[in-house]
Structure formats: structure tokens, C-alpha cells
Structure 1
Amino acid sequence: MVKYLSLFRIPRFTCAMAGALLVIGLPVASAWAADPVVVEPAVPSVPDVPTLQSLRGLLPPDPSGTEGGRKVDLMTDYVLNRPAAVLLGKALFWDMEIGSDGSTACASCHFHAGADHRTTNQINPGQANTNANVSSIFNKPFTASDIPGDVPTYTTKSGGKGGPNYQLKKSDFPTHVLANPLDRNSAILFSTDDVIGSQGVFDANFVKPHQARFDKCVQQPDGIFQVGGINVRRSTGRNAPTVINAAFNVRNFWDGRANNVFNGFSPFGNRDPDAGIFVTSDRSGVATKVRLALKDASAASQAVGPPGSPVEMSCGGRTFADIGRRMLDTL
């Protein structure tokens, strides 16, 4: 017994175990001497299944981290008035003036229960396709030899024309149909590499922000998102996900590229070597660039992406400084 109790490193735990064994072991030992041991069949343990709990009343942690090597906290170092900051965030989310065209906000893709439920002009030709021959073509008009089971098609599943400015129908889904949905190797009845995305802005290059209602931009011919030579709004390669409870996500965007660590500049956290913010460290007023790393801030990493995107909200080449200048001009 002493030999086996020596396996316990904590003396108090050793004494407790020894006492328990002494109490339950002696009567059982006498029983073992009289009766044969009956081995009961092992009952498989059932793992505890986690249940979903309500997030009502639960607040995400305030971001904290480092700025140029020194420890910083969101509320101590950056936010002077939390209610005012919340109002500003809501304004930036809903204000259509943020978009270069004066009519596109972050909420344009998220106003319906946090997600995008629009059905017109939502198709992207699958520009993320690794097959260069089909990455810019809606409903590829040929059979791609390197895609098993591919079939030529000009239409959507419902027989609609598809392409830019198309009105989606319920019968257009799903976009990949198998003879047996439970067998991934069964015959492909219908398939398209087109993606249901989220419409954004027209293809144009940014010139300057100082306009009454919209940025000055130069529209250019769009080789993909056009009908009869007339440009239509471009569409993203992914449908906008819901923003409800997004503050609790470790990462954001469908592919997780909005990093948990916010660098103050881009969605990519510490992976962006050029990211940084400018701060003044003395009364000279000279600003120097330093690295920022705020943890638990993937929503912030996500928020700096779409406003400057030439597909989602901006004319090409517009920066966040231009956006800020634009908003000050409209006050």
C-alpha cells in the first residue's frame, strides 16, 4: 500500500486516499475471500454534450495589447467616452456617405438581420477560381476538361440567363446538384462556378473626396460587370455574413482573415509588416509610426476592410484618410 501511495505527490491527497481505501477496503476484502469476483461488462461512457447558452447580457472583453512595445488598454488609452464611441460606430456602420457613391454603407450588406438578403445583381463569376479560363466568365460556355463531371451551360439551375444584374430565383439553388446528395461521388446533374456574393459599387478610380454628395471618380469600362456595355454594380466573391454577435468571433470574414489582433490599419493583424499608427510622444507634436497590437479585436480588423474596397464601397485607390476627409467635408 505504501508503495502505491507513493505515486501521489500531494501528502494531503495521499492521506485522504489512504483513509478512503481503509474504510471501504477492509469489508470488501473479507467479501472477496468468500465470493468469486463478478466482472460487470463495461458501460461505455457518454460524453457530455455542450449546450448553447444565451449571450444576453454578456459583454465581449475590452481589447488590450501593446503600442510600440508599451501596454495599452482600449478604454484607458483610446476611448474617452464609451457611449459616444458606440454612437460613432453605429453612425459609421449605417451612414451611406461613407461610400464613394454617397449611397453605399456597411449596412447595405447587413441591414437584414445582420446579413445580405438581396436577390438582384448578386452573382460573381467565381473570380477566386484557380482555373484562369473561367475566373472572369459567368456560367462558363464550355466544358473545362480539368474539372471532373463539368458540363457546358449558359444558364442558372432554373434556366435563367444569370450573369450581371440577374434576378435570383429560389429555383436557382443549390448551385451544385448531385444525383445522390449523400454520395459526393454520384453523378453531377448541375454545377456552376458562379458565386452568390454581395453587390457593391461601380468600377471607377478615385480622384478626390471634396464633393457635395459623392467622391469625384472616373468610371472605367468594366469587362465583367456590365450589360450591353453599360456598367452595373460589381459583386463580391462571397455573400456577406451576419454581423450579429460578431464581436464574440475570434476572427471575422468567412475565411477568417480579419485577425483577432487589430493593427490599427488593415485586417491582417501582425501578418501585415507595414501596418502601424502614428503617435506623438512629446510636446514637439512630431508623430512617429509605431506598431499596434490589440487583442480580442477582430471586429475592428474586419471594419477597416470594406470601406476602402474598390468592389464593396469605394472607388479604386481611396484611402481611409480620404474617407475621413470626406466625412469632415460633409459636416
Structure 2
Amino acid sequence: MAGALLVIGLPVASAWAADPVVVEPAVPSVPDVPTLQSLRGLLPPDPSGTEGGRKVDLMTDYVLNRPAAVLLGKALFWDMEIGSDGSTACASCHFHAGADHRTTNQINPGQANTNANVSSIFNKPFTASDIPGDVPTYTTKSGGKGGPNYQLKKSDFPTHVLANPLDRNSAILFSTDDVIGSQGVFDANFVKPHQARFDKCVQQPDGIFQVGGINVRRSTGRNAPTVINAAFNVRNFWDGRANNVFNGFSPFGNRDPDAGIFVTSDRSGVATKVRLALKDASAASQAVGPPGSPVEMSCGGRTFADIGRRMLDTL
């Protein structure tokens, strides 16, 4: 009983002299936090939604052979021929615990910066002048040169340093708008599927990702996140890409008004474009982005139809 005094095994004379022991109310037990291993065997969210008021299920409406689809997805993840250069796969940026642990040529100059005067300048501090043409010799946190083909060091991190890490308003000791991204492909324009190993592309001078006038692989504006358990995320990117709703075409879900898939009728054989909204499919939304990206995997101007022709060896 709460508040009761409990005296155990003491003589009467000393019982009154002893400090009373208060029995506290029983505290409900807190369930153990599930470990990563406990997630094994659990099925991912059901990737289903509605289309025109009709319930749509990916596994019954659009996939004729689920085991074959699973095997195909795993094979495509590791297939370097999806990349225009014949050496870039999805796994190129996601093979180390599902993420990218490479440390050379991984810096993006902060191309997402809304100020065009600084978005292409490596090592540009946030606090520096934004005057066009102001390109002094900035360095990384370790004093390194930075830029294309730079070998990152542990002392280059973090890229934003405060005098007091617990006070966001404290003095900034070091800061840069550069992003540690993931290197992809060279700057080139697509011509046609050339042969089984790589596409025919024409390289063009890259004013940003080059060393001494020689192009190097371009680097993305964000580091490749891990793909492990990514299927359980509502959204894999904060900016709306890798949307929870898969539209069958792009990473933007219902935000893409032109997205859709073509469905043929068994009777007419005519393909009709319809909207698709598969819920809990963020990983699927993300998967359709990199293969056509001129930074990540593709030569500029290459379409999914071109990728399909390459994979089928139909030149």
C-alpha cells in the first residue's frame, strides 16, 4: 500500500529508532526497445493505394511474377550497365552498409545555394563576400585545397563549427556551403546506346568538376543515404523527393502532375496513360531518380526508353 511503513526483523526497542522505509507505488515495467535484429522477418509496409477510387495493389495489378520481380530488383541494383559509362550502378554509392564511404572526389561546391555567385565556388564560406568574381584561395577546415579529386581527411569535419556547439547563436569559427556528396559520372551528352557495355556520349568541358582542364566525375549535392531499411521510411529526402506515394515515373509522388503509367487492355491492346498512387513506396520513388540523372548515373538527355534498349541490347 502506498505510504505504509514497513519494519522487518527488528526488535521492538530498536524498531522505533530505525528510519522507516517507505514503500513506493509499483512502477509499470517499460518494454525493451526492439533491436535491429528483432526487425528481421517483419514484412515491409503493403505498397498499396487507390487509383480512381479503385484499390490498387502492386503485387496483383502490376506484377505478374513477384519472385521474378524481387530477383530483377536485386540484379538491377548491382548492374553497372544501367550507368551510361558501363561502370556505375546503384550499388556504386550504396554498397558499404548501404551507404557511400568513399573519400576522394566527393565534394560538391554547394550548387543548391540560391546565390549564383557562390554556388560553383569550392570552399566558399557562408560569411565571405558575395561579390561576383571574388574567388580568393579558400581552404577546407584542415587547410586542404578541397575541390575536385580532393582526398577528404578526418580533420575536414565538421563543415560548420560553432564556438559553443550547444548555442546556435555563438560565434562561427568555420563554415562552408560545400557539401560532401557522392561522385557520379562525367559531364557528357547522350547520343545513343552504343554497345552492350556503355552508351555513346560526347563529353563537354566541365567548368566546375575538372582539374587542370581535365574533367573528373561530378559529385552530387548530398551524400548517398543508406538503403538499409529505407523501405520503412515515409520519405527518404526532406525536400519531397523519394515521396511516400510512388507515381510509377518520378520521385515526386502526387506533386508531379504529368506522371503516370501506360496500361494495356487485354481486349483492345491499346495503351492508355493512367495515374498511379502506390502508398508506402518511398524506396520505389527514389529508385527512378538516379538512372536518368546526368550527375549520378547517366549522360545528359538519356531516357528510360534508352536505358531499356541498352539493357535489352536493342541498339
TM-score, normalization by structure 2 = 0.84
Residue of structure 2 in register with 1:321 after alignment:
305
Asked whether the 8 Å contact 1:157–1:172 carries over to 2, the reply is: yes
- Cα distance, 1:72 vs. partner? 1.9
Over 3 Å counting, the alpha-carbon distance change for 1:302 and 1:311 in structure 2 is same
- Give me the whole-angstrom Cα distance separating, in 1, the residues matched to 2:98 and 2:248: 24
Shift of the 299–171 alpha-carbon distance from structure 1 to 2, 3 Å rule, reads same
Take 1:290 and 1:115, find their aligned partners in 2: how far apart are those partners? 34
Two-structure CA RMSD over aligned residues (Å): 6.1
Where 1:293 maps in the other structure, the secondary structure is: coil
| 1:44–1:248 CA distance, 2 compared to 1 (3 A) | closer
2:126 and 2:176 in contact (8 A); partners too? no
- Tell me, in whole angstroms, the C-alpha distance in 2 between the residues paired with 1:171 and 1:19: 57
Moved more, 19-28 or 74-83: 19-28
Identify if the C-alpha distance between structure 1 residues 287 and 19 changes in structure 2 by more than 3 Å, giving closer, same or farther: farther
CA contact (8 A) 1:241 1:253 kept: no
Shift of 1:154: 1.4
- The secondary structure found in structure 2 opposite 1:40 is coil
For residue 27 of structure 1, report the CA deviation from its aligned partner. 33
| SS of aligned partner of 1:65 | strand
Cα distance between partner residues in 2 of 1:243 and 1:263: 20
* CA offsets 1:282-302 (integer angstroms, 9 cap, x no match): 422111111111111111101
Shift of 1:236: 0.4
- CA distance in 1: counterparts of 2:257 and 2:13, whole angstroms: 69
Which is worse superposed, 65-74 or 137-146? 137-146
* Residue 19 to residue 307, structure 1, CA distance change in 2 (3 Å): same
Q: Distance in 2 between matches of 1:277 and 1:253?
A: 23
Contact in 2 for aligned 1:151/1:191 (Cα 8 Å): no
Q: Number of aligned pairs? A: 315
Q: Return closer, same or farther for 1:24/1:122 CA change in 2, 3 Å cut-off.
A: same
Question: 1:278 is paired with a residue of what secondary structure?
Answer: strand
8 A contact 2:118–2:130 mirrored in 1: no
Higher mean alpha-carbon deviation, 69-78 vs 80-89, is at 69-78
Q: Which moved more, 1:92-101 or 1:284-293?
A: 284-293
Shift of 1:251: 1.2
Name which of structure 1's ranges 140-149 and 209-218 shifts more when overlaid on structure 2. Answer: 140-149
Equivalent position SS for 2:38: coil
Higher helix share: 1
In structure 1, what is the Cα distance between the partners aligned to 2:184 and 2:130? 32
Structure 2: runs of 5 or more not aligned? none
Q: 1:149 to 1:66 in 2, by over 3 A?
A: same
1:320: how far off? Answer: 1.0
Cα-to-partner distance string for 1:180-229 (whole Å, 9 max, x where unaligned): 22222222222111110000000111111142310111111111001111
**1:281 CA displacement:** 2.2
Q: Secondary structure at the match of 1:54?
A: helix
Identity %: 100
> Following TM superposition, by how much is the alpha carbon of 1:167 offset from its aligned partner in structure 2, in angstroms?
0.7
Partners of 2:13 and 2:22 in 1: CA distance: 14
Is the 8 Å Cα contact of residues 62 and 75 (structure 1) preserved in structure 2? no
| Cα deviation, residue 68, structure 1 | 5.1
Distance in 2 of aligned mates of 1:87 and 1:57: 18
Equivalent-residue separation in structure 1 for 2:32 and 2:270 (angstroms): 58
2:160 and 2:176 in contact (8 A); partners too: yes
Change (3 A) 1:244 1:46: closer
Superposition deviation, residue 71 in structure 1 = 2.4
Query: SS of the residue aligned with 2:195?
Result: coil
Q: 1:37 to 1:309 in 2, by over 3 A?
A: closer
User: Could you tell which deviates more after superposition, 52-61 or 284-293?
Assistant: 52-61
Q: Say whether 1:182 aligns with 2:184.
A: no
Query: Residues 50 and 83 of structure 1: is their aligned pair in 2 closer, same or farther, counting only changes over 3 Å?
Result: closer
